[in-house]
Amino acid sequence: MKPIYITDLDHTFLRTDQSLSDFSVNVWNEKAKNAILSVATARSFQKSHNFLEKLHLDAPMILLDGSMIVAPDKTLIDIKTVNKELGDAIIAEGAKFDIYPFVIALKDMDLNEAFLFPTTLNTHQHGVLENYRNDPRMVECKNIKAMEMNLKIVYFADRQTLEPLTAHMKKTFGSELEYKLSPEKYSDGWFLTILHPEGDKAHALQKVADHIGRETSEVTVFGDSVNDIGMFKLAGTSVAVANALDEVKAVADVVLPHSNDEDGVARYLESSIYLIV
């Protein structure tokens, strides 16, 4: 049977400048001749497309932290959303901390997305939005509200703001939601991502394995951040790039000697000769 490889994008397969090296592209496409390859990313379908059009993909893509699974031909396989009532309740609780989120939602079943952002922004949110200039999904909201199909609700701020906010959200909503608190590697801020409780990469990996008729124990995954940990624990082999967070390295089967900027994933795919640590 063909081996299966699924990689995170940002700070794992993509370089820090959000590019793909020719080496990584060539290794990926050569490997795809005898293996099944795909991605598991926090990015949306639209934001991933520019990178993925260079790559041969065989397996469904895990998108938006696991809240959406889409085949390479854009066929929707699975989706986990937060409804409007719950989404509005999350926003109302965040307002008690004087912070308003970004809301990434699905507008229709043709996978057209909306990226809602509040008029009131903190310094970290301003910085993040610099990466989304001219993005057609963007909608500024003076009084931000959830949509009918919310894929994820994301707060950006400093750690001192988001740690108590995370604790408050967990106390208020409990198991109704999934909460991912992590440093933002493109800046000195942190982000809190709130999802459907089955909208994470671990649940999505199981769905992908079921879809292609394989076991998760047959999958090798690559990652660097908190949202990869559940997937690491479920996969047969988990591989952390050298620049991964320490808590990710701690649960990895393999820690690469190379970072994302050194084509760590492609080097592994090319050789597949690394000692388990």
CATH number of the domain within which 190 lies: 3.30.1240.10
Q: How far apart are CA 251 and CA 230, in angstroms?
A: 10
- Same domain, residue pair 91 and 183: yes
pLDDT tens digits, 102-151: 999 999 888 888 999 999 998 889 888 877 777 888 999 999 999 999 99
Task: State the residue for tokens 């991912």.
Answer: 180
Q: What is the pLDDT of residue 276?
A: 36
**Tokens encoding 137:** 């999904």
Q: What is the pLDDT of residue 69?
A: 96
Q: Which amino acid is at 259?
A: S
Q: Could you say which residues of the chain have pLDDT below 50?
A: 273-277
The sheet with strand 61-63 has its strands ordered as 61-63, 68-70, 76-79
Q: How far apart are CA 173 and CA 184, in angstroms?
A: 24
Range(s) of the domain holding residue 107: 84-195
Residue 143 belongs to some domain of the structure: yes
How many structural domains comprise the chain? 2
- Same domain, residue pair 17 and 45: yes
- Same domain, residue pair 185 and 99: yes
Q: What is the pLDDT of residue 49?
A: 72
DSSP assignment letter at 257 = S
pTM of the model: 0.87
- Same domain, residue pair 48 and 149: no
Q: How far apart are CA 133 and CA 147, in angstroms?
A: 22
